[in-house]
Structure 1
Amino acid sequence: MNLRHHGDREATPGLVDLAVNVHPAPMPPWLREAIASSVDDLARYPDPTPAEAALAAHHHRGRSDVLATSGAAEAFTLIARLRPWRRPVVVHPQFTEPDVALASAGRAPEHVILDGGFTLDPAAVPDDADLVVIGNPTNPTGVRHPAAAIRSLTRDGRLVVVDEAFNDDGTESLAGELVAGLLVVRSLTKLWAIAGLRAGYVLGEPTTIAELRDLQPPWSVSTPAAAAMIACTTDEAVTDAKARHVDVEQWREHLERGLDAAGIEHVPSTAPFVLARPGAGVHASLRAAGFAVRRCDTFPGLDDSWIRIAVRPPEVSTKLLEALSARP
């Protein structure tokens, strides 16, 4: 199973991109201006301290609770190297970079595969797991787990890592809570369409954040990325984020209604993508019809009968639904 496969490999030129979960609208003017203005400071080495302070205030946390990272992927790499994990567990299906990071660090992650709607059963996690990684909402299922269920996973001698890269509305988020033994990984690249900038961060207990900081390469977060982090915490950003989230909700409802009408099995989603099960071979047939969707046989717990569809405006989703309905 190719755990390094991601949606960007699907979105090749000439295809309608429904594989990458980046908001289709361009970055807003205030964000573009902040990034462009930061170019004047490129002669100096980057300093993420002001960005971390802004992110901490945004989540009503202490400054020492935040570590800025080069995207969420760097956070998983640092976490994998944080301890000599004895029994790391990744709850699947979910984003596979935690698996890759652990394997690169010489750790063999164990999988807890969720079924029955892909909802979390805390009892399924082994009692002696010292690292547990889970997404919320989860990529690729779109399922959002109760914060209380995730909080219940914490215990002495265990670190619980929650990937909140797609938690754009704050529902069931643990980002604003200081919970012993819990790290929250966040990303700014999806909602604001800045995937190429690599802007993420980790929230957690100050001692754990300090240990992660010691593992981080110097100047890991670029000056433009730090500027984007600050800009995305402003009142204007909060207002625009709510508007973007409303758009995504409406677009997702249109897509899910279309899947229902076509009789295609899918998982009710709370994310900017929908996991659907139109059957084996559909991924290839959609590519032949001009549509790139995310194959799902690279996610533990799924097979090639599943595809992940990025949420797009209705006129785009309607064309995809027509292509699905036109299958023999």
Structure 2
Amino acid sequence: MASLDPSALAAARYHGDQAVAPGMLDFAVNVRHPRPPGWLIERLAARLPHLAGYPSAQDQRRAQDAVAQRHGRAREEVLPLAGVAEGFALLPNLRPALAAIVAPSFTEPAVTLSAAGVPVHHVVLEPPFVLDGVMDAVPEDADLVVVGNPTNPTSVLHTREQLLALRRPGRIVVVDEAFADSVPGEPASLAGISLPDVLVLRSLTKTWSLAGLRVGYALGSPEVLERLTAQRPHWPVGTLQLTAIEACCAADAVADAAADAIRLAQLRTEMVVGLTSVGADIVAGQAPFVLFRLPDAAHIRTSLQRREIAVRRCDTFVGLDERYLRAAVRREWPLLVQAIHEISQVSMCASKGGHR
């Protein structure tokens, strides 16, 4: 398709934060913690007096060098971004003739490419949403392929071999690794591999609770990054963003995030057991959120909302319908499971009462 119709566009521009009102228990947004760590707040606060000046070349280099050292790449292979969303917004600069997007997946790539007049073909995976056996479904003439790993919203982690099998002469493969650092050991990441036709997008907003600052980076060949930024405005990434990139990619911060990822994985396992106990059909995955299916998911979601508990609706994703919900991994997961149980029990009693 060359563009999204109005209803599809409205669905694609829906994001989890729109489900959350102040004071709600938030399972809809995948930011790892309610606030950044104290040391990071102090580091950013120390730069506030410098905001009268433009972001400096030195700030830029320090951020690039921190990322380069973190992933074993060259400085020239690192592009600081105002969040991964900016990376998607820059994709039309690559001037693809046909973009293939592996779905279900984050919706922004389809929105930005379609708005730029790029034909978009969705390669829709069936449950359990893995890449096995779908390589032939990607059009051979697609010169841009976008895939998430682990994928939002499915949480599925594809292997490196599966991702590399998407490569073709004249094609760029874009891998959205916004949640890669939430997988212990990052076993499937391509961030540390220099390839001329692979562009990796990474986010720091989820792990470090910086969604309000918009922080991320791209990893790719200098030639691809040059094409990507061909029409980028001056000073696209501010001083505080560059400071955050440098700080969060330092060795001690990376180690802290890695240790937290292990704890998060254990919490996810416990949450999956709890959701399964109330009848949820879980999609196997490794991201810091859980995609699950319930027969009466739409009713449960609206009932949870009345109880001031937010979960992510999934009928706005290509390839999913109203039976699916996504919930971020939170230590408060027992409250979500208990609420689903109570709502289901009330619905069951009402159903039985209506058939007497």
Percent pairwise identity? 45
Pairing 1:109–2:120 present: yes
Contact 2:174 2:201 in 1 (8 A): yes
Distance apart, 1:97 and its partner CA: 0.4
Distance apart, 1:81 and its partner CA: 2.6
**Match of residue 186, structure 1, among 177, 198, 202:** 202
For 1:287-306, what aligned pairs fall within 5 Å after superposition?
287-306=305-324
Corresponding pairs, count = 325
Question: Residue type matched to 1:100 in 2?
Answer: V
Deviations 1:28-85, CA, capped at 9 Å, x for gaps: 22211221112122121113232112111211101110111110011011112321x2
Q: Distance in 2 between matches of 1:14 and 1:31?
A: 25
**42-51 or 161-170, larger mean C-alpha shift:** 42-51
Deviations 1:174-212, CA, capped at 9 Å, x for gaps: 000011211000000000001011111110111111222
**Match of residue 37, structure 1, among 40, 46, 54:** 46
1:75 is matched with 87
**41-50 or 188-197, larger mean C-alpha shift:** 41-50
Contact 1:281 1:304 in 2 (8 A): no
Name the TM-score, length of structure 1 as normaliser.
0.96
1:51 is matched with 63
**Match of residue 252, structure 1, among 244, 268, 272:** 268
Question: Residue type matched to 2:322 in 1?
Answer: D
Question: Residue type matched to 2:160 in 1?
Answer: A
Q: Distance in 2 between matches of 1:308 and 1:60?
A: 34
Instruction: Give ranges in structure 1 of 5+ residues lacking alignment.
Output: none
**Match of residue 232, structure 2, among 216, 223, 235:** 216
Contact 2:178 2:204 in 1 (8 A): yes
Distance apart, 1:250 and its partner CA: 1.8
Secondary structure at 1:74 match in 2 = helix
Secondary structure at 2:291 match in 1 = strand
Secondary structure at 1:281 match in 2 = helix
Question: Residue type matched to 2:228 in 1?
Answer: L
Distance apart, 1:215 and its partner CA: 2.4
Question: Residue type matched to 2:129 in 1?
Answer: F
2:216 is matched with 200
**44-53 or 184-193, larger mean C-alpha shift:** 44-53
Distance apart, 1:258 and its partner CA: 0.6
Question: Residue type matched to 1:259 in 2?
Answer: L
1:156 is matched with 169
Distance apart, 1:269 and its partner CA: 2.0
Question: Residue type matched to 1:41 in 2?
Answer: H
| 4+ long deviations beyond 6 Å | none
**22-31 or 6-15, larger mean C-alpha shift:** 22-31
Question: Residue type matched to 1:32 in 2?
Answer: I
Q: Distance in 1 between matches of 2:70 and 2:23?
A: 39
